[in-house]
Amino acid sequence: MIENARSLNIAASLILLIGMLYILGPLYLTLATASQSYEFLLRNGLAWYPGDQFLNNAVRIFTETRIPIQMLNSLAVAFSLAIATCILSFLSAYAIVYFRIRWAGVAFALILATIMLPVDIRVITTYQVASNVFSPVNALLDVSGLNGLIAQVFGAPVQLELSVLNTHFGLIAPLAAHGTGTFLFRQFFRTLPGDLFKAARMDGAGPVRFMFDILLPLSRTSFAALFVLTFLSGWTQYLWPLVASSTPDMQTAVVGLARLLPDSDGEVPDFPMIMAGAVIVSLVPLLMIALLQRYLVQGLVLSEK
């Protein structure tokens, strides 16, 4: 249906304008404040017009804060997370779609359930496991009574302990267990001709060759799309890095930005520098989108070309 009413057009444009104002307003405020000096802030509050201090503030981010090393952390986390998610999702979707597995449906449902249980919901239990990855094993030994038996024979029960808190692995692993990618690949595989797998078998290619020669090249755009999405979500993660890392050198840039606020009351935060930090930290994901935007769209519409 095409509406031509003039009043409706004006109303719609107005709503759009207000929406844009809400999004662009804070962005502008960030940029403007980032280019003013601390003194300006103390005198006038947040800046409504740009100044000439951005470079100065940016240099201070690099010299006076831990943001640079934290950005490296973010980069490591986001990259590893994206790669791990891509590989895991691809393999699990391959297994679910192309092999006759007895419990494939249940497995897929469980994988999908992770979409409904993000880290934000299970943060306490995830923290417990991360602080000792063997805690489920210990609990199992206790509950099953095996530990009692072991205590009788060897004199002491088994208590394994390994903490992954404050490690890159600990930052990445709980985030990588996410079903979106599996779902994406599964949907993509199902758009491919069903006899492809059989044709490859007739040509003498086993499951591994089929995966490398046929499925991987066809999945290029899906890979790119999933990579960008996971990279962005890894870069902007806040809650999990906040609880899983306690030393400034292990924290990610987004957590680091929040930590730039002074701990004591009464002190006015150095907002120009913090805003400059926010701008710098946002540059990386922005660059990522700019470079891979084409694949992002292609991969999400599930075309096979």
Partner 1 sequence: MNAIDTAIRAAAASITVKGLTKAYDPQTVVIPPMDVELKAGEFTVVLGPSGCGKSTLLQMIAGLERVSGGKILIGTREVQDLEPKHRGCAMVFQNYALYPHMTVFENMAYSLKVAGMAKAERAERVAAVAKMLGLADYLHRKPGQLSGGQRQRVAIGRAIVREPGVLLFDEPLSNLDAQLRHDMRVELADLHRRIGATTVFVTHDQVEAMTLADRILILNKGRIEQFDTPKAIYHHPASVFVAKFIGAPPMNILPVTGDGSALRLADGQVVAHAPLTGAFQLGIRPEDIVVDGKADGHAVKAALRFREDLGSHSVLAADLGGSIVRIATPFGADIADRLELLLNFPTSRLHLFDAATGRAIPGAQ
Between residues 155 and 217, which has the closer beta carbon with respect to partner 1?
A: 217
Window 116-155: residues binding partner 1 (CB under 8 A): none
Smallest gap from Cβ 220 to partner 1, in A, equals 8
Window 215-274: residues binding partner 1 (CB under 8 A): 217-218
Smallest gap from Cβ 303 to partner 1, in A, equals 11
Between residues 120 and 304, which has the closer beta carbon with respect to partner 1?
A: 304
String marking each residue 159-198 x if it binds partner 1 according to CB under 8 A: ---------------------------------xxxxx-x
Residues in the chain: 305
Give me the DSSP letters along 92-125: HHHHHHHS--TTHHHHHHHHHHHHHS-TTTSHHH
Helices and strands (H and E) in the chain: how many: 17, 0
Q: Is 294 in the site for partner 1 (CB under 8 A)?
A: no
Between residues 112 and 192, which has the closer beta carbon with respect to partner 1?
A: 192
Smallest gap from Cβ 284 to partner 1, in A, equals 31
Using CA of residue 115, residue 117, residue 123, residue 129, what is the dihedral sign?
Answer: negative
Q: Is 303 in the site for partner 1 (CB under 8 A)?
A: no
Give me the DSSP letters along 183-246: HHHHHHHHHS-TTHHHHHHHTT--HHHHIIIIIHHHTHHHHHHHHHHHHHHHHH--HHHHHH--
Which helix (H) or strand (E) is 52 found in, with range? none
Summarize as ranges the residues that interact with partner 1 (CB under 8 A).
192-196, 198-205, 209, 213-214, 217-218, 304-305
